[in-house]
Amino acid sequence: MEPALQNRKATNVFLVGPTGTGKTSTAKQVLEAHFDGRAACVNCWKYRTAHEVLSEILLTFRIPAYARESVGEQVRKLEKLAKSKSLVVYLDEVDRLVDRDLLYVLSRVGIGLVLSSTHYHTLSSLPSRITSSLGLSEIQFPKYTVEETIAIVRDRVEQSVRPGALRTSLLKLSAVLADGDARVALETIRRAALMAEHNNSKRIELSYFDNHSQAVFPRASFYVVGKPSPAWNDPLVARSLEKLLLDFASPESIKVARSIPEKDFSIREENRHALAADIGNTTVDINLEAQTIAHHCPIWAKSSLEQKFCPHVVKLFLSIGPERARTTLALLLSDLDSWKLSHNDRFALI
């Protein structure tokens, strides 16, 4: 985009990547810092037609725009301005734009374009005469890793949450569950903080996460007892649960767990604070507040020392809703050192 700073035409840019990876904020920051007074940002989800988009652009440059004037008249006004100084227009969520020819028109009057979309196929869906005249260079915004999400969230939390009010484990949990979308992680914490405030609590507790997780993470919402979760059929959830389980158990253990007959298994307790099951002659008790898993079996006697599961414990996670399982495993994984996996003799029934 540098040529536009010397009043030459900028190379058109296409920013693509999943939501929450910083496309919009990056574009806005660059435009504000370097193209002040020469850039317009329009969200095509909000303004979809050529007339609406052009009105927004003209108004940004303080040129009156009228509902009844034609697109041609709007373009002429813009062209006149573009002759006096090089302009850059940022069209966010460009895949929502109805009149695609507008891109061609803007480019032809010498305006530098920054387009962004979450869809990789956006460009290929444009007529080739448009794409070839735009000559867009693509910049990809990959999904954040969990570590990157944690760093982003931590940075924001330090600025906005009282020190000590949010446990590190919950901060990590928000990052693990957000699955590369920093905005989701931040929104989760924001809502949990509001709940804490509402409850006059000095700390953000896990339960404040639960209450809102359904709204924030459609894939990580808590399982409702007695209702089979529709996400059972979601291959993404199933795969992500399998992946998380492999952090705790070998593929063999998972296979053995799957072979435990349903008649030998029953859930004894399932709520926000606890998960418990009777499996054959033994029991599994998970306490989310105390951060303990109590169980008794020969494999667990060894595996629990290495923070690994035996097939019984795996069976429990395979039997609760996949979303509850995923959330609980993510919680465990984000704060494994604080968890106590105990070989509890009280339950020594076998």
The answer to the question of residue 300 lying near Zn ion (CB under 5 A) is: yes
> Minimum CB separation from Zn ion for residue 250, in Å?
13
Q: CB-wise, 191 or 315, nearer to Zn ion?
A: 315
Q: Alpha-carbon distance 185 to 174, whole Å? A: 5
Stretch that binds Zn ion, among 36-44, 139-147, 245-253, 294-302 (CB under 5 A): 294-302
297 contributes a contact to Zn ion by CB under 5 A: yes
Can you say how many angstroms the Cα of residue 182 is from the centroid of all Cα atoms in its chain? 6
Closest CA to 192 of 221, 169, 213: 213
Cβ-in-10-Å burial (0-12, 13-18, 19+) of 307 comes to middle
Question: Is 296 within 8 Å of 348 (Cβ atoms)?
Answer: yes
According to DSSP, the residues that pair with 252 across neighbouring strands are: none
Q: Give yes or no for residue 157 binding Zn ion (CB under 5 A).
A: no
Q: Which is nearer to Zn ion, 225 or 348 (CB)?
A: 348
Task: Tell me how far, at minimum, the Cβ of 335 lies from Zn ion, in Å.
Answer: 22
Contact region with Zn ion (CB under 5 A), list: 20-28, 114-122, 208-216, 297-305:
297-305
Select from 206-214, 232-240, 270-278, 299-307 the region that touches Zn ion (CB under 5 A): 299-307
Looking at the Cβ atoms of 65 and 275, the one nearer to Zn ion is 275
Q: Which is nearer to Zn ion, 129 or 302 (CB)?
A: 302
Sole binder of Zn ion in the list 189, 310, 325, 341 (CB under 5 A): 310
Cβ 192 to Zn ion shortest distance, Å = 34
Two tokens, residue 121: 């196929």
| Sequential DSSP letters for 102-131 | HHHHHHHTT-EEEEEES-TTTGGGS-HHHH
Tell me the number of residues near Zn ion by CB under 5 A: 4
Using CB under 5 A, which of the segments 8-16, 38-46, 60-68, 300-308 binds Zn ion? Answer: 300-308
Nearer CB in complex with Zn ion: 136/249: 249
Which one among 23, 172, 308, 312 touches Zn ion, defined by CB under 5 A?
312
In terms of C-beta distances under 8 Å and separation of at least 24 residues, what long-range contacts does 216-220 make, across chains too? 216/184, 216/187, 216/188, 216/191, 217/177, 217/178, 217/179, 217/184, 217/188, 219/179, 219/323, 219/326, 220/177, 220/323, 220/326, 220/327, 220/330
Measure the CA–CA gap between 191 and 213, rounded to whole angstroms.
Answer: 9
Give 191 or 312: the residue with its C-beta nearer to Zn ion.
312
CB of 300 to Zn ion, least distance (A): 4
Which residues lie near Zn ion (CB under 5 A)?
Answer: 297, 300, 310, 312
